[in-house]
């Protein structure tokens, strides 16, 4: 199995500095059949660590999803660029733990407090062109008195909160209304756990 030590960095050039940064790397890497590749160039969007968290109320067996405008979906020509998603955010403070970010984003995007955070796994949503890593969580919350509109005004967030019964999850998935990786993975993980355990004990 190869490791990062099997990649040789030949150069690094900053292409763009903005909300996200883009860098062009020149490198060589080990080949499966032996030796090294010829020098290649790859552009990488540097986004870093992020979190996504699915709010789950085990008492009422309901989940919460946020709806908001997504420029990427709009640029792709999606007819409905307001997407249903799990709560999510970036770890943008030095040394900030994913668990702390999950709790902060729950409060900002959904007005919720987690009584328990259950870590699922971390994955790369687009490793061919981004270094972003997303840590997935399920959060136990109380959805009995949630509001409807949330979001940090200084981040231009305009968010609507929706609650669904766990029994509506298959319909949401089949309809295509949920069409982003973090949400689909979180819902599938919750369903798998609930199919083999007491709904109040997902940890």
Which residues have a catalytic role annotated?
Answer: 155
Which residues are bridge partners to 65 per DSSP?
A: 162
Q: Which two tokens stand for residue 58?
A: 């085990």
Distance CA 183, CA 132 (A): 16
Please check whether residue 56 is in contact with residue 202, taking contact to mean a CB–CB distance below 8 angstroms.
yes
65: left (phi over 0), alpha (psi -120 to 50) or beta: beta
The single residue listed with the structure tokens 């029994």 is 167
Taking residue 98's Cβ as centre, other Cβ atoms within 10 Å add up to 22
Task: Identify the sign of the CA torsion 125, 128, 129, 130.
Answer: positive
């Amino acid at each position: 199995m190869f490791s990062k030590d099997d990649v040789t960095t030949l150069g690094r050039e900053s292409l763009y500095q903005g909300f996200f940064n883009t860098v062009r790397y020149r490198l060589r890497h080990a080949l499966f059949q032996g030796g090294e590749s010829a020098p290649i160039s790859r552009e990488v969007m540097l986004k870093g660590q992020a979190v996504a968290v699915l709010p789950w109320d085990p008492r009422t067996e309901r989940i919460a999803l946020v709806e908001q405008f997504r420029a990427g979906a709009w640029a792709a020509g999606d007819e409905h660029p307001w997407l249903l998603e799990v709560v999510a955010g970036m770890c943008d403070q030095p040394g900030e733990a994913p668990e702390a970010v999950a709790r902060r984003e729950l409060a900002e995007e959904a007005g919720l407090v987690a009584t328990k955070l259950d870590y699922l796994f971390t994955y790369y949503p687009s490793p061919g062109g981004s270094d972003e890593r997303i840590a997935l969580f399920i959060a136990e919350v109380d959805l009995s008195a949630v509001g409807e509109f949330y979001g940090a005004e200084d981040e231009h967030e305009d968010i609507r909160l929706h609650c669904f019964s766990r029994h509506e999850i298959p319909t949401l998935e089949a309809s295509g209304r949920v069409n982003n990786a973090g949400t689909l993975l979180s819902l599938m993980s919750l369903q798998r756990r609930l199919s083999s355990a007491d709904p109040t004990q997902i940890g």
